[in-house]
Amino acid sequence: MSSRVRIAVVGCGLIGAEHLRAWRAVARVAGKHFEIAAVCDSNGALAESSALEVRRWQTTPVTVHTSYEDLLDGSIDGVDICLPTYLHEQVACSALDAGVHAMVEKPLAMTIQAGRRMRDTAVRANRVLSMAEDHRRTAAIRTTRWLVHETGLIGTPELIQAQRVRYEPNPTRTGWRTQRALGGGGWAIDNGAHLIDSLAYIVGPLSSVTAVAKRLHNTPVFHANGDTRIDEREDFLSALMTFESGTTGIFSCVSSLPHADDFSFALRGTTGAIVDDGGQLFHAPLPEARVHARGGNRRSLRDFHKDFLASLSPREHEKYFPFGLTHGFAIECAEFLLAIRDGAQVEIGADTALNTLATSLAFYESAIAGRTVSVTEVLNGSLSEYQKTIKVGPLESDFKRV
Ligand SMILES: NC(=O)c1ccc[n+]([C@@H]2O[C@H](COP(=O)([O-])OP(=O)(O)OC[C@H]3O[C@@H](n4cnc5c(N)ncnc54)[C@H](O)[C@@H]3O)[C@@H](O)[C@H]2O)c1
């Protein structure tokens, strides 16, 4: 492709704004290769103000739309989809069918059936389908993987402990996220998609999950339009995770038990451990995590970052940090750009994204079925009881009955 790649950002809410900042960072180092040709949001005022932001740093025109269908007329090469999860399948498939490449925010979709349709459409249309997950592309996660796989400092990973126990009687995030039919579920499919993807990247895929999910409190959520609904996400999720490598994981995420405020993450191997108890569970381990290794050696993950960088060949460096970018969101955007321009491979293509989705859904399928569930049976569609409730709607299948 000789001319500049024309990108449209669809959805200018919380993460759409973050993506526009990321595209700006890419423009600073690779601006000659692309332009933000359009922004789209059903909220016209938000679409307008987002375009204004782009015009601060881009001289070529950016058009403003309230309907994504406007973008499928051949004027756009790639759509960056930052829409609520229930719209991912519809918008990505329409774009791909129209010959437009698509990058979709995590999670790929709400069900395996939807994710498969997206993958099949991309294959049929011979277009890129990438999942935007920023965390695995950060230096902290790249360094963690390197420590585990290349240095021998940690030994064989045996145990992952991931716990977040907080008291959040009034959730601040409202809107589509709190409705199962629009968001697909709670932690395991939403923020948990980051942790699940990172863990699979670091120690390999999960093979099975034994989970308990509950809604302990019926928390009212007040919507901007005046509606009051009950938060349909789980507020208690606990699971035993088994990885294909043999590593065992213990996960616990609770937001409705008082006197609780505790985060902790640890990856414990036969000779060392990476421990993060001050950060953010779904993005763990963060650079401040401590690395405990043989001989009482204790350094932060950040300290190992330069050793990791020094271990990379120039080609690997460019692959992990295209154009020298180091921010996860900017890296995923640059990678999408290079996939469209040069046909380069994206790191999280449809199959990897489907695996992450199947793992997220395995938590809920296990909670509903009351048994250990393999990721394979979710991925191949032989178990989908929970996913059927996503379409049926709200409280038809309450986790409390598990
Ligand atoms: N990577 C991350 O760290 C991260 C963080 C937050 C959200 N996300 C993901 O990003 C996606 C969006 O989440 P968000 O928090 O930005 O949501 P949001 O509600 O803040 O933003 C969504 C935007 O889409 C617009 N919209 C809704 N329907 C539309 C339509 N039919 N056509 C055009 N625009 C429409 C809304 O007006 C809104 O501005 C979700 O899939 C979520 O899981 C990822």
203: domain CATH number? 3.30.360.10
In this structure, are 328 and 179 located in the same domain? no
Going from the Cα of 177 to the center of ligand 1, the distance in angstroms, rounded, reads 9
Do 259 and 180 share a structural domain? yes
Distance from Cα 248 to the centre of ligand 1, integer Å: 33
**CATH number for 334:** 3.40.50.720
Ligand 1, atom 30, lies closest to the CA of: 42
DSSP codes joined into one string, 181-208: HHH-SSTTTTTHHHHHHHHHHHH--EEE
41 in contact with ligand 1, CB cutoff 6 A? yes
Out of 79, 83, 110, 131, give the residue to mutate to test ligand 1, the one with the largest number of ligand atoms within 8 Å of its CB: 83
The answer, yes or no, to whether any atom of ligand 1 lies below 6 A from the CB of 40, is: yes
How many domains, in total, are found in the chain? 2
Residues 298 and 383 in one domain: yes
Residue 63 belongs to what domain range? 5-135+318-347
Ligand 1 pocket mutation, candidates 10, 43, 82, 360, criterion most atoms within 8 A of CB: 82
Q: Which of 47-56, 206-215, 341-350, 382-391 has the lowest mean pLDDT?
A: 382-391
The H or E element spanning position 162 is: strand 157-167
Whether residues 158 and 288 fall in one domain = yes
> Are 9 and 20 spatial neighbours (Cβ–Cβ below 8 Å)?
yes
Calculate what percentage of the chain has a pLDDT beyond 70: 93
Same domain, 126 and 69: yes
Per-residue model confidence (pLDDT) at position 127 = 98
pLDDT of residue 398: 44
**175 and 27 share a domain?**
no
Mark whether 222 and 365 lie in a shared domain. Answer: yes
Name which residue sits closest to atom 18 of ligand 1, judged by CA.
13
DSSP state at residue 399: G
Q: Is 175 in the pocket of ligand 1 (CB under 6 A)?
A: yes
Once rounded to an integer, what is the mean pLDDT over residues 296-304?
84
Residues 86, 159 within the same domain? no
User: 224 vs 100, which has greater pLDDT?
Assistant: 100
Q: Would you state the pLDDT for residue 397?
A: 42
One domain for residues 151 and 117: no
What pLDDT shows up at residue 402? 35
Average pLDDT across the chain, whole number: 92
Helix, strand, coil percentages in the chain from 3-state DSSP, rounded to 5: 45, 25, 30
Return the pLDDT at 118. Answer: 98
281 against 22, higher pLDDT: 22
One domain, residues 44 and 150 = no
Is 223 in the same domain as 284? yes
Per-residue pLDDT tens digits for 138-164: 999 999 999 999 999 999 999 999 999
Is residue 61's pLDDT more than 50? yes
| Ligand 1 within 6 A of CB of 85 | yes
pTM of the model: 0.95
Residue type, 326: T
With a CB cutoff of 8 Å and minimum separation 6, the contacts of 304 are 143, 146, 147, 291
Give the containing element (helix H, strand E) for 386. Answer: helix 385-392
DSSP structure string for 240-265? EEEETTS-EEEEEEESEEEEEEEEEE
Q: Do residues 197 and 278 share a domain?
A: yes
Question: 231 in ligand 1 pocket by Cβ < 6 Å?
Answer: no
- Whether the pLDDT of residue 339 is over 60: the answer is yes
Q: Which among 289, 332, 292, 272 has a CA at the least distance from the CA of 138?
A: 332
270-299 pLDDT, tens digit each = 999 999 987 677 888 999 999 998 766 679
Q: Of the residues 10, 12, 14, which should be mutated to test ligand 1's pocket, given the most ligand atoms within 8 Å of the CB?
A: 14
Residue 87, ligand 1, Cβ within 6 A:
yes
Evaluate if residue 316 carries a pLDDT over 80. yes
Best residue among 81, 105, 141 to mutate for probing ligand 1's pocket (most ligand atoms within 8 Å of CB) is 105
Centre of ligand 1 from the C-alpha of residue 374, in Å: 30
Most confident of 174-183, 227-236, 326-335, 387-396: 326-335
